Chain A
Amino acid sequence: MLQIYCPYCKQTREEEEFSYAGEAHIKRPSDPQAASDKEWGDYLFFRKNPRGIHHEMWQHSAGCRRYFNVIRNTVTYEVLESYPMGTSPSEQPAHAATISTAGELQ
């Protein structure tokens, strides 16, 4: 069970309160009319899908209902940092220490 920190509610809660919303920081083609099939395909379907550190979006669906970004390790399932939409992650993952306690990683 993941333990996820909501940067708006400022609370760490169980994953069941949240909905996953896919890879973060994907930019929609800035000029949609001019975008090629290749650009649309890449935007819509192709993903990094890394084994390791992943930047992803979650929604606090059973809480404040807002979207935010999370950095998570897809192998250890450690949630390293949460940060609001439109911001960049800090260099030092702020919440890693509180969340990475053993046993919380599943």
Chain B
Amino acid sequence: MEKYSLFKLFNHARTYNENWQRAWRSPVPKSDYDVVIVGGGGHGLATAYYLAKVHGITNVAVVEKGYLGGGNTARNTTIIRSNYLWDEAAQLYELSLKLWEGLSQELNFNVMFSQRGVLNLGHTLQDMRDIQRRVNANRLNGIDGVVLSTAEVQARVPLMNCSPNARYPILGASWQPRGGTARHDAVAWGYARGADALGVDLIQQTEVTGIRRHNGAVVGVETANGFIGARKVACVTAGNSGVMAAMAGLRLPIESRPLQALVSEPLKPCLDTVVMSNAVHGYISQSDKGDLVVGAGVDSYNGYGQRGSFNVIEHTLQAICELFPSFSRVRMNRHWGGIVDTCPDACPIISKTPVEGLFFNCGWGTGGFKATPGSGYVFADTVANDRPHPLAEAFNIDRFYSGALIDEHGAAGVAH
């Protein structure tokens, strides 16, 4: 792997940037791998990277039906935080946040992780009580967080309407200073380049169409380009996980639904943090390029169409204009949807399955971008050692039979 550095930049500039090495190979699939990872999104690529890096398992292929990071990884609003309520979730997301903090150095790839802080607004007395409780729980878990008053919120975000005359007045907020945003594509590309350098084969434009089993154990995957043998198969396919499970005769407690986002025309810097509101349901930040990145709610019904309902977008923009009256004149540039894998308790499933050698990592739903490094880290450990990583144990699929759900709807209410 060609290491990126200032010196390299300088050198390549002298040769008109014509000789950069490709970031990863496009290999012809081998007939057999130790591990085949289905899904080349951020989570799948991170899993491959840590399998090779931490566990020395390099005979690995990532099989992706489209292009790397073209699923939800490319479609999300990139909010990163770890202030979840329950211990199990908080620890998993906090591991992830810690990995984010060193990720650009680790991958020698600028993932543009920007710790600009995340505000979760409270608009009612009950909101504020929940925020107090969550911030206290976070601090007991060693996660940074403070409760801000209306005046403190206004000081941080001058453009926001914090007047008591607002339709839903802002009574305060939780504030996680270490939260922020990152560049979605860069995360996928950084992990892809890192995994490739360690020997992982990244196979694009190859859809997995079946999971071949023998005597209750997995033996490989059928793809649009032929059979690929594997001792273990790890599915990290987000919204398509139900379809993958059906290939192995399994069902999941997951429903796939469209989630939408939009970006505006680029503006001069005007919002230097992330603002989220459960109650009016909107979240917004400004990218380094200057566009406002706005996330909407999830559609109420199942769908695979990668587009959502217009009324959901309307509702979100109403909320944003209510919070930021001056944004009412901003024009929206692009709008899209991604298919998210929603789970009944708003927490992921990181689990073995009844089929030997078959693993699933899914159910991240509307909020898994922030978890990309941590998810890959614990899933790689789970796959490599055939048992759940200690932080993944609570996210076993068996919780839907035992009843030990980890209800994060409160902290994940606005979805991120």
- List residues of A whose CB falls within 8 A of some B CB: 1-2, 15-16, 19-20, 22, 37-38, 40-42, 44-51, 54, 56, 72, 74-77, 106
Contacts and interface: CB of A to CB of B under 8 A. Distances in A.
Nearest to A76: B305
Contact of A51 (B251, B300, B304, B311): B304
Interface residues of B, number: 25
Contact of A46 (B253, B256, B307): B253
A20 to B, nearest CB: 4
A92 B403 CA distance: 41
A49 B254 CA distance: 7
A2 B344 CA distance: 24
Interface in B373-416: 400-403
B243 interface: yes
Contact of A56 (B251, B301, B307): B301
A54 B304 CA distance: 11
Nearest to A72: B301
Given A19-B300, A56-B301, A74-B305, A47 B401 contact: no
A41 B255 contact: no
Given A37-B402, A46-B251, A46-B252, 10 more contacts: A1-B310, A44-B400, A45-B253, A45-B344, A47-B251, A47-B254, A49-B251, A49-B255, A50-B243, A74-B305
B302 A49 contact: yes
Contacts of B303: 74-75, 77
A45 B305 contact: no
Interface in B244-261: 246, 251-256
Nearest to A16: B311
B253 A47 contact: yes
Nearest to B402: A37
Given A45-B253, A46-B251, A74-B304, A2 B309 contact: yes
Contact of B401 (A2, A41, A74, A75): A41
Contacts of A76: 305
B117 interface: no
Given A1-B309, A47-B255, A20 B301 contact: yes
B240 interface: yes
A56 B403 CA distance: 25
B305 A75 contact: yes
Contact of A15 (B304, B305, B311, B403): B311
Which of A45, A46, A49, A76 has the most CB atoms of chain B within a 10 A radius of its CB?
A49
Interface of B: 240, 242-243, 246, 251-256, 300-305, 307, 309-311, 344, 400-403
A22 B240 CA distance: 18
B211 to A, nearest CB: 16
Nearest to B344: A45
A59 B246 CA distance: 28
Output the residue of B252, B310, B400, B402 with the most chain A CB within 10 A: B400
A50 B242 contact: yes
A15 B309 CA distance: 9
A49 B363 CA distance: 13
A8 B252 CA distance: 33
A45 B400 contact: yes
Of all A-B residue pairs in the complex, the 7 with the closest CB atoms, nearest first, are: A49-B242, A45-B253, A41-B401, A20-B301, A20-B300, A45-B400, A46-B251
A46 B304 contact: no
Contact of A48 (B240, B242, B400, B401): B242
A45 B305 CA distance: 23
Nearest to A1: B310
Contacts of A2: 301, 309
9 contacts: A19-B300, A20-B300, A44-B400, A46-B252, A49-B242, A49-B252, A51-B243, A74-B305, A75-B303
A102 to B, nearest CB: 15
Interface hub of B246, B305, B307 (most chain A Cβ within 10 A): B305
Contacts of B301: 2, 20, 56, 72
Contacts of B307: 106
A34 to B, nearest CB: 16
Contacts of B305: 74-77
A37 B401 contact: yes
A51 B247 CA distance: 12
Residue in A16, A42, A77 with the greatest tally of chain B CB atoms within 10 Å: A77
B161 to A, nearest CB: 27
Nearest to B300: A20
A41 B400 contact: yes
A1 to B, nearest CB: 6
